[in-house]
Each structure stands twice: as structure tokens, then as C-alpha cells.
Chains A and B, each alone.
Chain A
Amino acid sequence: MRSVQTTIPFNVRKKCSFYGSKNNVTKEDFSNATARDSSCKYTPTVKKIITLSSSESDSDSDIENAKVCGNAISVKTPQRVRKSPESDQDHGSTPPKQRRTNKSYVSTSPTTPSTLFDKLNLASSPNKEERLAPKKLFGSERYRNARKALHSSVPETLPGRENELQKLQEFMEEHLKNETSGSLYVSGPPGTGKTACLSKLILKTEFKSKLKVVYINCTTMKSAATIYAKIVQELGLTVSKSGKNSKAVVEKYLSSNHKMLLLILDEIDQLESKKQSVLYSIFEWPSIHNSKLILVGIANALDLTDRILPRLQARCELKPKLMHFSPYTKQEICNIITDRLNEANASDLFTKTAIQMLSGKVAAVSGDIRRALDISRRVIEFAESYKLAQILQPTSNNGITCNKKINIPKKQQSTVDQPVDLREVVTVLNGVYGGLQNIEKEESTFPLQQKLLLCSFLLILNKGRNKDVTVGRLHEVYKKVCNKRNIHAVDGSEFYSLCSLIETRGILKLTRKKEPRLTKIHLEWDREELDAALQDKNMMAEIINDITCL
């Protein structure tokens, strides 16, 4: 009996909730509507349409709600039902485990005509297979390949890093040939392919056979000193249980007769410790007689070894060779993206200018290839969803009532077959960095009181004598502003939470003190720009220029 109970409510609820609230149509209508031309790919959008259109008409959604909230209510009934078969449970009331399945059954069954839903469910199940078929009609494979190609995992080729690879290889080969030890420090900003280059090198067969490679990412270390234990573990040496003498074990191994060892320590700046003893001893290892160790440290800082390991300068043989990975230039980023897209046979998804602009933007800021790939992936996702929306649009027009929310962003009918253009790139970039653009665009969702707060803050900054603004002082000015305009001013504690809400937008920065009233407020955004953005509105401009409120 219970198996029946568990299956029925599942299907019923799935049906209802996935397509939003179902309108009370017969099953033929329903299946036709969905089977017409929406493939399974667009189910979320379909859902949106239906929920929107049916939000005015009352449906069974509130019944569902009532069921959810009233679950405690319906507990009583299943308890009695079940007590007879399972009377061995002498806890007095319902056992907690089985409650859920029964509850949902019981709560659905009295309110909904279950027979109708049963039929509906059976009738629509073949439809799902039908809907599966047209999935590939729109060439989503191409988008998918493009997305996959732009994933930031380590690729086979590293365009733009030939020089560095060459240098690294020479360095290694030289030491391999002479069987000497050496140390190398690789620096560069994030996303410039440091780790990728090294991991590509160690995969080469000529190194694989002659070298024992140990790669450790130092962020995983609990503390700096645990690095020794990790090295011991990676080398497969035996060590006493306490792990105290792991350092000695490593050093003993190094001075013994062994294979050439390549030790790569990623994010080596995490090993900073008191007096830098760990880093010093690691960088001194290559100088141990007959150690045959190639040490490679990777970090972001350009001058890590000079800054925190000045003693290494004293002895020439200890000085690590430095190697810097410069950020990718515009042309390199451009090449990487086009190469990857070509590999995936999706080069026509992007226009040339779009790639140029994207890589120019990224190169100007950071030269981070991860970021560039991420933006381009994002752009492709946007393009895909645009395309889906356009294909879907006829459905929304003729199927159910047309809704405005879909029509607004998707009016560019012409882009159906066009590749991604500048506009999408700009959209993605602005979505992340364009703080001010966002505030202008979404002024309807920026709460009024927060705007008043910002205006009062700007008033103090522009016209006040003391630019050192605390929450208490801002609150006083804000209250005067509100009184003048007959707006209800919020209380002190509420005001403080308003400040922290604005802080989450990144406009303000609060340096917190013990007392909220003494918390200092700083403006993070450019004052003139924010000023200009807010002065567009009549009232805000008046407030900002109203000295009497000070």
C-alpha cells in the first residue's frame, strides 16, 4: 500500500509545480499546448509564461500552499491510519521518519480529484519523449561545444606562453643533464598560466622517466611546518608516527642517492611563517651536497624571494632564478579565444570585433585569461538564451496570453543567426563592474530611504565643514532632510541597518566601532559620478544642494 502512496503524490506534485500552476484545462488542451513547439530545453521559460499568465486566475497553487503549510494539521489522520499495522511503536505519537511520504499523500488526496490527475499524468508522459526529439533542432550542440572549449581547465596547448615554456624546459634540461640542483621562483598575477605551464611540462615523457615529480599546492597546508610531512608522504618515505622529524627525513633523503627530484610548490606564499624558517630551509635544500633537487616555487608576488627571504641574497648559490609571467596581452587573449573556438568548430559564434573588444578590456585590467574565458563563456550563454527566447516567442504570443516581461529584452529579432556582438560583451562587463550604470538603470528597485541617506551623505561631503562622517551625524542630517520633505524618517537602529544594506552594494564602507552611532562612513564610489547620477532626479538634486539641513 505504501508504494502506491509514494508514487502518486510525486507525480501529481511534479506536474503541478513544474509548469507553474496548472490552469483548469482538460488534459487534451494541456498536452497540445506543451507539445506544440516548445522543446524540453525551454521548460523554465514555459514555466515562467504560465505562472505569469495564471497568476491572476486562481488556480490550485494556493491549494498546494495550504497543503505545505498545513502539513502539521494533517498529521493527525495518517497517525490513526498507520497505528493499526504498526502498533509496535509505542512512542505515543507519530514516528518521525515515515511521516513525510504519508503526509503528502494524505494532504493531496482530499483536496484534489485524484482520478483526473492520474489520467492527466498518464496521458502526458508520452509527450515527454516527443519533446525530447526536437532538442537538437536549434543547434545547441555548437553552443555547448563552445562553452566546453572555453572552460578554464588546463588545455593541451598554451598559446602565448611558448617563450616561458621554452625557458622552463631549458632550465630543467640543463639541471637534468648536469645532475645539479637549482631553484626557480615563478611569479605572475593570477590567471597567467603559471601552473598550467608547469603541469604541462611534467607531463612530458622525457621528464617523466628521468624525474620524480612532487607537486604540492600549499594552500591546503594546515600550517607552514606541515609541508615537510606532506613532502614525506608524497615521496613515499617512512616516518615515525609523531611526524616531528619529517624535515630531517626529507633532508636525509636529499643527501642520499636518489633519482632527480622536481619539487613544485604552488602558492608558496602560504608558507610564510615566523622568521620564514620554513621557506629558508626549503630554499636551502638545493645547496645540500648531491641533493639533485629542482625546486620550483609559484606565487603571485613579483619580489617574494627578495622581500621575505633577503638572506638568500647573501649566498650566490642559493639565490633562486627568477621568472616572471607577464599578463596576457590583448593579441594573445584574442588568439587563445579564437583558437579554442576554432577547435570547437564554433568560430562563427563570435564576431571579430567582439573578441577584440573583450580581450582589450581584459588585457587593460588584468590580463587574466581565466577572466577572459569566463566572460566569453558568459557571453555565449547569453547568446544562447537570447536565441532560445526568440524561438520561444511565437509560443508565448499565440499560446497563452502574451506577457510583457519576455518581450522587452528580446525584441532583437534580427540576431537569430547573428554571432555574438559587442552588445553582449558590454552587458556582461557592466553587469559585474558597472556599479553606477546599475544604479541608474534600476532606480525603481533602489529603496527611497536609501537614496535619501545617500543624498544626505553627499550633502555633508559637498557642503559640510567636517568630512568625517559618523552614523550619528548622518542620521541627524537625514532626519532634517526627511522633516523638510514630510517623509517619515527611520529610527537610529533601522538607520544603521540601512547603512549596512547600502554597504552591501559597495557604495559605502563602514568602519565599525563598538557603538553603531560612532561608526564612520566612507564613500567607496567616485563622489562626482554618484553626485551626477543622483542629481538627475529633481528631489535628490534639491536635497544635495540644500545647505540649511546641515
Chain B
Amino acid sequence: NTHLSTPKSRPKYNNLTPSLVTRNSALIKPTTPLQEARSKLHVSVVPKSLPCREEEFNDIFTFLRGKLEDKSGGCIYISGVPGTGKTATVNEAVRCLQKLILKGQLDDFNYITINGMKLTEPRQAYVQILKQLDGKTATWEQAYHTLDKKFRSAPSKMTLLLVDELDLLCTKRQDVVYNLLDWPTKSTAQLVVISIANTMDLPERVFMGRVTSRLGLTRLTFQPYNYKQLQEIVESRLKGFDGFRSEAIQLVSRKVSAVSGDARRALDICRRAMEITELRNGETISLQDVSEAISEMIASAKVQAIKHCSEMEKIFLQAVSAEVRRTSIEEVYFKDAYKQVESLCSFDGIEIPTVTEILAVCGRLGSNRLLICEHSRSDIYQKILLNVSTDDIHYATQELNLN
């Protein structure tokens, strides 16, 4: 590691690419077929062609290709809940377009991606775009002016701009979104903006009229995967590995599709199931492993938390729920709850704890979010709200009594 120069002059070099320290030893290869299959199931391994998203792919591909061939600008808005393959599909479409360039069927174009989540501030979008276009770094104002000049005087190449998490670029004035969507309407700017967000009605809900008008009506919604599609996705990734029973895959996909239809979730559960199988030194993933993984990842932890509370904490929870039932108002004053604690304790023949003790109990329960409490400085007049349902408390504490 030789120091080439003093640190101050470093940033000037644009030709220095940032690099990370490399590992000293090579990574361990996955040895068993189980491990290999597990690495294939990782969310980061994006397959070359996405199963079950052919129609959306075609839509995006033909749209982009049409724009690129026409040399005209345009916008498309893609929405859908997380984990439905929006970004992956767009990237795949662009990859295919780039292959067409290599074949000489399409003119060269720039591809730029920005992600609203990765920007510290919406205006940094200009900086990022310029950086990816020219490799220059500038302040956002300079970057904006350079870009504006570029898009107003016909640039040589088409530019595809992918804006991920568009909703985060919204400010009160919405100037960034306005500018990003206004450039494509210029006849000189050969810019195609692909914007991605989760909310289906974001343009109507958040944007001003003039931004919505520029965004246009070319919209595409990615529906959540249904269980067949999730099954197909998992199976396509596990091709060549027969240790995963198809019933098990079906269970995963049915469970996930019933809740959210998120492909990432399904893949995560499958991988967790494989880990569980590995732990018990199994070869094939059984239904039991899968249901264990599901219960780990979906099932509630609150009942468990209540079960593991101390005796007095349980009594306090019961007291609060009793008070809720008595007054049928959700909010309970601490002093009323304490009265309930007193009576509960005298029923069970336990020594009645002091108010201070119960306040400490209340604070503990509040800190692990079983209760929602006000600040403890209001003392016995603080209001308490149950953060779990009364059924859960009943269920969890009843088992204790049986033991």
C-alpha cells in the first residue's frame, strides 16, 4: 500500500476507482448439494430470465425499444408491492437491449440508474446522473445546469434513466421530480425515464398536477405473485436439485402468497428450511422443516414474550386487560391498573407489591413494547395502552395456570 500522494489531492483523480480490501483466503466452496442449492436460492442471484414476468418484460422491452428506435423521449411508471420483480425485470430488459447494440440492431445508449433511497437528498439525483453520464463530480446546482444544457441541445446518444423509489424524490416543491419528468418532453432531449415506486396511485396521491401531467399514462403494475408463480420461481431456481419436496415448496408458496406475494420472502423461507434440514443432518427438506421455518419467520413472537414474562409482569398485564374490560376504554390509567393488581394479588395470596415496584414493571413492559406507556414522570396518572390483544394475554397466561 504505497501512498501515491497526499490525501488532499486524491479526489481530483477521477480515474481512481474505489476498491475494497480483498480476502486473504478464498471462499469455501459449497460442498454438499444442499449447500449448492441454497446458494442458488439466494435473493441476490438474479436469474437470467425471470419466470412469470414475461408479459411485463415484453411490455417494458417493446416500450423501451420503440423509444430507442424512434429517438424520442418518454416516461413510464412502474408500480407494485415490494418483491414482485420490478427492478429485476427492468434490468433484464435493458440487458437485452444492450445485447441488441452488440448485434448492431440498435444504436448505442447510455443507461443510468439512480435510487431515491441511496440519495441523501433529492437534489443529489442530479449529481449522480451527471457522475454516471460524464464521470464528473459537481455540486447539484452545477450538475443541474450541465444536465439541463445537455438535454436542451440534442445529445448524441439516447439516455435511459431508471429512477428507483421515485416517491423518495418528492419534496414539498417537487422540483426534482418535475425536472426529471420535464426533460423527456423536450423534443431535443433523447431521454427515457423509467420510474419505479411501490404505490400504484402515487401520481394522483402525491404529485402536483403538472408533474402528473408530465408523467403521462404509460403505467405498468406488477401484481403480487400467486402461489403457482412462486412455486415456479422456486422450482426454476432449484432445477437439478431434487431434495426439496414439491409439497414443501407448495406450502411455502401458499403461505407467502396468502400474505404478501413477495418472492424474496418465499426464497428466504426456503433457505431457512434448508438450514434447518442441514442442522438435523438431513438430505431432503421435509414439510416439517418448512413449517418450522415458516413459524420462525411469520409466526408471532408476542405470545412467547408474554409467556416468558415474570410472574408480576404477567399479573400486571392481566390487570391492565381486566381494567380495559371493566371500563371498555382502551386507555387505562396506571392507578386503576394498580387497583386491579391489588385485587389480583389478594386473590392469589401474593404479597401486594408497592406502587414503585409496579411502576418499574410497567416501565419494563413498555420498553419491550408489550404495553404502550406515556413517560413515567406522570407517575400514577400515566396512561397505559395494551400493544397486544387481550386474547393473546389470556392465551399466554392461561397456560401458566395449568402448569
Contacts and interface: CB of A to CB of B under 8 A. Distances in A.
A517 B69 contact: no
A210 interface: no
A449 interface: yes
Given A40-B105, A505-B81, 16 more contacts: A17-B95, A43-B100, A48-B58, A61-B47, A61-B236, A65-B40, A72-B27, A91-B22, A93-B26, A148-B72, A190-B214, A220-B144, A370-B214, A432-B217, A447-B260, A490-B298
A191 B54 CA distance: 34
A69 B39 contact: yes
Interface string B185-219: 11100000000001111001100011011101111
B96 interface: yes
A18 interface: yes
7 contacts: A44-B62, A62-B240, A370-B214, A371-B216, A432-B217, A447-B224, A472-B389
A442 B105 CA distance: 37
A93 B24 contact: yes
B48 to A, nearest CB: 4
Nearest to A77: B26
A492 interface: yes
Nearest to B389: A476
A58 B238 CA distance: 11
A10 B99 CA distance: 10
Interface string A497-519: 11001011110000000010110
B387 A515 contact: yes
Contact of B105 (A52, A75, A132, A375): A132
B210 A73 contact: no
B134 interface: no
B331 to A, nearest CB: 10
A76 interface: yes
Contacts of A366: 213
B239 interface: yes
B54 A506 contact: no
A190 B212 CA distance: 9
Contacts of B313: none
For chain A, which range describes its interface: under 10, 10 to 19, 20 to 34, or 35 or more residues? 35 or more
Interface of A: 10, 14, 16-18, 20-21, 40, 43-45, 47-48, 51-52, 55, 58, 61-62, 64-66, 68-70, 72-73, 75-76, 79, 91-97, 128, 132, 144, 147-148, 151-154, 189-191, 217, 219-220, 222, 267, 270, 300, 366, 368, 370-371, 374-375, 377-378, 381, 384-385, 388, 405, 428, 431-432, 435, 438, 442, 444-450, 472, 475-476, 479, 490-492, 494, 497-498, 501, 503-506, 515, 517-518
Contacts of B388: 492
- With most chain B CB atoms within 10 A of its CB, the pick from A154, A374, A431 is A374
Contact of B99 (A14, A220, A503): A14
B313 to A, nearest CB: 19
B169 to A, nearest CB: 13
Given A70-B39, A75-B27, A515-B387, A190 B210 contact: yes
Interface string B380-402: 00000101110100000000000
A375 B57 CA distance: 20
A48 B57 contact: yes
Interface stretch (B109-117, B299-307, B353-361): B299-307
Interface in B160-180: 173, 175, 178-179
A374 B217 contact: yes
A491 B299 contact: yes
A44 B96 contact: yes
A95 B103 contact: no
A431 B78 CA distance: 12
Contact of A381 (B22, B54, B62, B148): B62
A20 B261 CA distance: 25
Contacts of B14: none
Contacts of B205: 506
A428 B218 CA distance: 9
B22 A154 contact: no
A517 B387 contact: yes
Given A48-B54, A61-B48, A70-B30, A445 B179 contact: no
B45 interface: yes
A431 B226 CA distance: 20
Interface of B: 17, 19-20, 22-27, 29-30, 36, 39-40, 42, 45-49, 51, 54-55, 57-59, 61-63, 66, 69-70, 72-74, 79-81, 95-96, 99-100, 102-105, 141, 144, 148, 173, 175, 178-179, 182, 185-187, 198-201, 204-205, 209-210, 212-214, 216-219, 221, 223-226, 232, 236-237, 239-240, 257-261, 298-302, 330, 372, 385, 387-389, 391
A504 B198 contact: yes
B161 to A, nearest CB: 17
Contact of A432 (B219, B261, B372): B219
Contacts of A14: 99, 102
Contact of B81 (A371, A374, A504): A504
Contact of A405 (B23, B45, B54, B73): B54
B200 A506 contact: yes
Contact of B259 (A52, A447, A515): A447
A147 B26 CA distance: 54
Contacts of B47: 61, 65
A381 B205 CA distance: 27
Given A447-B259, A504-B199, A96 B19 contact: yes
Given A300-B209, A492-B300, A270 B175 contact: yes
Contacts of B239: 58, 61-62, 65
Given A52-B54, A55-B232, A151-B72, A381 B66 contact: yes
A52 B46 CA distance: 18
A501 B389 contact: no
Given A69-B45, A385-B62, A491 B259 contact: no
B355 to A, nearest CB: 25
A515 to B, nearest CB: 5
B372 A515 contact: yes
Contact of B258 (A10, A45, A220, A448): A448
Nearest to A191: B213
A220 B102 CA distance: 38
Contacts of A518: 372, 385
B58 to A, nearest CB: 5
Contacts of A381: 62-63, 66
Contact of A73 (B27, B73, B200, B201): B27
Given A40-B105, A44-B96, A55-B236, A370 B261 contact: no
A66 B70 contact: no
A73 B299 contact: no
A343 B218 CA distance: 23
A220 B175 contact: yes
Nearest to A218: B175
Contacts of A75: 26-27
Contacts of A92: 22, 24
Contacts of A189: 209
Contacts of B62: 44, 381, 384-385, 388
Contacts of B36: 66, 70
A44 B60 CA distance: 10
A517 B385 contact: yes
Contacts of A66: 36, 40
B368 to A, nearest CB: 13
- With most chain B CB atoms within 10 A of its CB, the pick from A17, A65, A515 is A65
Contacts of B212: 190
A144 B210 contact: no
A44 B185 contact: no
Given A17-B49, A220-B144, A504-B198, A58 B240 contact: yes
A447 B49 contact: no
A238 to B, nearest CB: 19
A40 B210 CA distance: 38
Contact of B391 (A40, A44, A144, A479): A479
Contact of B226 (A18, A445, A476): A445
